[in-house]
Amino acid sequence: MIISLLSWAWILSGILLIVLVLLHSPKGDGMGGLAASGSSMFSSASSAEASLNQATWTCLAIFLSLAVILSAGWLK
C-alpha cells in the first residue's frame, strides 16, 4: 500500500519537475551568446523567478528522495 502511494507521488513529482523546468526562461543565447559583447550573462532573478527556482529545487529534492527510498527497498 505505502509503496504504491510513494510510487504515485514519485511519478507526480517527476511530471511536476518537468513542467517547472520548462517554465524557466532561457538564461542565454546558447553558443551564439558567447561572442555577444552587448548582453550581460549574469542578471538578478526577479521575485517570480526566485519563487520558481525554489519550487524547482524543492520538487527535485522530493523526486530524488523518493527515488532513493523506492530503489533501496527499505519499505519491504
- With a cut of 70, say whether residue 31 has pLDDT above it: no
Residues in the chain: 76
Angle at 53 between CA 12 and CA 57, to 5 degrees: 50
Q: What is the pTM of this model?
A: 0.76
User: Average pLDDT in the 65-71 region?
Assistant: 96
What total of structural domains would you count in the chain? Answer: 1
- Give residue for cell 519550487: 55
Domain that holds residue 3: 1-20+47-71
pLDDT in tens, 32-55: 666 655 555 555 668 889 999 999
Is 1 inside a domain boundary? yes
Is 14 inside a domain boundary? yes
